[in-house]
């Protein structure tokens, strides 16, 4: 179906036909097409997003105009939302009344739940999906896979890097930054240093649990018993507890510690954080941070580093503009919009973007990208939030010595199993 100028009447007839009989076929079997070159006839695609103020400026004033110039029959309407639980509830509520946005920029940790609720369109069935897969970092891409289907494409990605205080490195005469968790812990214990973590959430501690030898779930993510309560996990949590009691992990862990300032003022030898540690600051503050700290990929253990994060673009199942939505989502993974995103400090999901262009402006990019291939995804579970709550609850009880390591992990595993079995049965 080529670029043919059609009269408005024919366009309306074709649009009705495509909605009622061949909409899916045209997008699956053929290239998503421009519905019209007539600037007076446009199809609106509404996207909800959680971009920052600077990111929103680039998105609204550069990315969307570039897309609309190329696809003149599609008009993109951006709606900025706050990133919180209310947003999750709002998307579900709008979907239940058949009035959802067409596209959502969604945290990758949310995607499995929305897929389970049958609120997202499986984009792996759409035209050109297999072609764009090869251009994307594999870890972020796989975070969109749920029960055999991809329900989104990664827009931007992130992980955490290790940030070390330079003065403390000099004090300990450390010439090379630790590459493994074992090396890191050895340095911390020998020099009585402190590692800063903000809380006990998996985003903050999962990579330490894994790095110390712990295993959360079985390879199929359907069972915790035999893994979370295994000898290896018990040993890992006992080591974590010992380090915490000795003051090697944030002593004021339950009092809202300020780890960002702590790594600058030598309270902490090391913290780990996402790229926003830099990107939310002015260039002057970033230069100040670089004077006081050094960054490197988070120490590796068995091929895994820090937790994988990021946002994906998903298409809601209730959209009436599937072709236009997919055309936009597909285009957003291409070099032009991905390069614009990189200019805001976000790490693009397209691995072909030349990030060396931004090393002078964002010198921290290098450490994040270097650790991306070994970034550790959280289990793709619809009920991940419940698993996370159990993880935090029992880890807190263990660290405050209200329960033994063995009993705490055993109880946690049993509670997780109940949730996992329900999810498996759906």
Q: Where exactly are the structural domains of the chain?
A: 8-157+309-370, 161-307+380-424
CB 99 within 8 A of CB 369: no
Distance CA 216, CA 237 (A): 11
CB 152 within 8 A of CB 111: yes
Q: Over the stretch 169-213, which tens digit does the pLDDT of each residue have? A: 999 999 999 999 999 999 999 999 999 999 999 999 999 999 999
Sheet holding 195-196, edge to edge: 195-196, 270-273, 161-165, 293-297
Confidence of residue 38 (pLDDT cuts 50, 70, 90): low
Mean pLDDT over the full length of the chain: 89
Pull the structure tokens for residue 8: 């408005």
CATH architecture of 161-307+380-424: 3-Layer(aba) Sandwich (3.40)
- pLDDT value, residue 119: 95
E strand or H helix that includes residue 412: helix 405-424
**Domains 8-157+309-370 and 161-307+380-424 agree in fold:** yes
Distance CA 308, CA 158 (A): 6
CB 226 within 8 A of CB 172: no
- pLDDT value, residue 37: 54
Confidence of residue 97 (pLDDT cuts 50, 70, 90): confident
Alpha helices of 97-201 — where are they, by DSSP H?
111-116, 129-133, 138-142, 166-171, 181-191
Range of 21-30, 369-378, 386-395 with top mean pLDDT? 386-395
CATH class of 8-157+309-370: alpha beta
């Amino acid at each position: 179906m080529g670029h043919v100028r059609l009269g408005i009447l024919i366009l309306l007839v074709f649009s009705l036909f495509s909605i009622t009989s061949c909409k899916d076929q045209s997008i699956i079997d053929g290239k998503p097409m421009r519905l019209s070159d007539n600037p007076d006839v446009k199809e609106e695609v509404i996207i909800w997003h959680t971009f920052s103020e600077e990111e929103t400026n680039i998105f609204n004033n550069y990315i969307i105009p570039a897309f609309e110039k190329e696809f003149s029959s599609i008009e993109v309407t951006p709606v900025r939302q706050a990133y919180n639980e209310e947003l999750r509830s709002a998307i579900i509520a709008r979907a239940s009344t058949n009035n959802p946005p067409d596209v959502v920029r969604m945290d990758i940790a949310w995607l499995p739940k929305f897929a389970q609720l049958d609120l997202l369109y499986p984009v792996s069935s759409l035209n050109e999906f297999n072609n764009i897969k090869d251009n994307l970092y594999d870890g972020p891409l796989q975070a969109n896979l749920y029960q055999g289907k991809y329900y989104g494409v990664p827009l931007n990605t992130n992980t955490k890097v290790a940030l070390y205080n330079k003065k403390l490195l000099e004090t300990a005469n450390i010439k090379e930054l630790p590459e493994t968790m074992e090396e890191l812990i050895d340095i911390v214990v020998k020099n009585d240093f402190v590692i800063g973590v903000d809380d006990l959430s998996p985003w903050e501690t999962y990579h330490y649990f894994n790095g110390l030898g712990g295993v959360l779930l079985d390879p199929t993510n359907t069972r915790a018993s035999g893994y979370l309560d295994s000898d290896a996990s018990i040993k890992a949590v006992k080591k974590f507890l010992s380090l915490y009691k000795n003051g090697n992990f944030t002593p004021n862990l339950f009092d809202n510690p300020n780890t960002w300032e702590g790594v600058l003022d030598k309270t902490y030898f090391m913290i780990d954080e996402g790229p926003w540690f830099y990107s939310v600051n002015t260039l002057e503050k970033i230069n100040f941070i670089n004077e006081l700290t050094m960054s490197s990929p988070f120490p590796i253990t068995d091929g895994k580093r820090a937790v994988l994060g990021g946002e994906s673009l998903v298409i809601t199942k209730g959209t009436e503009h599937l072709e236009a939505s997919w055309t936009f989502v597909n285009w957003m993974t291409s070099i032009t919009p991905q390069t614009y995103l990189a200019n805001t400090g976000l790490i693009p999901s397209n691995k072909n973007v030349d990030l060396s262009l931004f090393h002078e402006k964002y010198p921290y990019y290098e450490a994040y990208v270097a650790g991306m291939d070994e970034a550790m995804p959280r289990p793709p579970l619809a009920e991940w939030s419940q698993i996370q709550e159990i993880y935090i609850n029992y880890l807190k009880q263990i660290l405050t010595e209200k329960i033994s390591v063995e009993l705490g992990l055993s109880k946690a595993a049993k509670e997780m199993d109940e949730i996992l079995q329900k999810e498996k049965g759906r």
